[in-house]
Amino acid sequence: MTHRWLHLRLAAPLMAFGGVTIDHVGVTREFPSASALVGLLGNALGWQRHQGAEHQALQDRLVFAALSVLPAGAAPWVVTDNQNAKLEKNDRGWTTSGKPEGRAGATYDSPHRRRRDYLADHETRVVLRLAAGQGPSLDDLAQALDRPARPLFIGRKPCLPSGPVFQGWTQAETAHQALQSLNLAGRALWPDEGQAHPRALRLDIPDTRNWVSGLHGGTRLVWQGELA
């Protein structure tokens, strides 16, 4: 069965596809996770963080594949930002919840440390469709990406896209074929749709989120390989 796929271009001087975070280290993947795309689409639609059921329903319907537009054999350029800030007892910082957050505890001698990895001068193409279910249609997503309710960012708030995210449509039976229809070369990631790919690696990756609890939500089977 042939499906219609939404074509996205994610490109920026700096962007991040966050992986599993431990302590203060915020890593980046090479490819966007399912939860990252849901966050991007939810932001374009104007959804709020507390709308967990809507985000979860969208993630459950999402079928996508991604391609790093890179020369053969090349690896993404990852840069690391080390942040050190000394927070005193009375210092306050604003958060995404809209409320100031303070420092707890009695010791203030040590700085607050954060490490964040970014993909530099990177370009990723994404093809996606939605399985049947309740919620926005594929046309709703295209319209929201073309005229987003809020400014879009790719992974982290400083990571503004360098051009339009919505790039049009393509037709294909599978996510892998939809990527091939773009006629671009690079390393790719696509879902396991029941077909064997002898030259690709089959992986079980942790990239979904439980949007109601806000915690990691499990893994999914994917293939990773090169598109010529």
Domains in the chain, number: 1
CATH (domain of 173): 3.30.70.2660
Handedness of CA 93, 98, 99, 103 (dihedral sign): negative
Q: Would residue 93 count as lying in a domain?
A: no
In a domain, 92, yes or no: no
**Is 108 a domain residue?**
no
Question: What is residue 148's predicted lDDT score, i.e. its pLDDT?
Answer: 96
Give the model's pLDDT for residue 104. Answer: 63
pLDDT of the residue at 94: 64
Let me know if residue 71 belongs to a domain.
yes
Residue 115 is assigned to a structural domain of this protein: no
Could you tell me if residue 128 is inside a domain? yes
User: Residue 108's pLDDT is what?
Assistant: 58
User: Average pLDDT for consecutive 10-residue bins of the chain (228 residues)?
Assistant: 96 87 76 94 94 95 95 80 76 67 62 84 96 95 96 92 97 97 95 92 91 81 92
Residue 171 phi/psi, 5-degree rounding, is -120, 135
At residue 191, the 3 state secondary structure works out as strand
Give residue 213's pLDDT.
81
Closest to 67 in 3D by CA, of 6, 10, 118, 152: 10
Question: 103 in a domain, yes or no?
Answer: no
Backbone dihedral region for residue 183 (phi beyond 0: left; psi -120 to 50: alpha; all else: beta): left
What is the span of the domain harbouring residue 19? 3-86+121-227
Angle, alpha carbons 88-118-180 (nearest 5°): 155
Query: Count of CB atoms within 10 A of residue 43's CB?
Result: 19
Task: For residue 115, give the nearest of 199, 213, 23, 180 by alpha carbon.
Answer: 23
d(C-alpha 155, C-alpha 22), whole Å: 17
Q: Is residue 116 part of a domain?
A: no
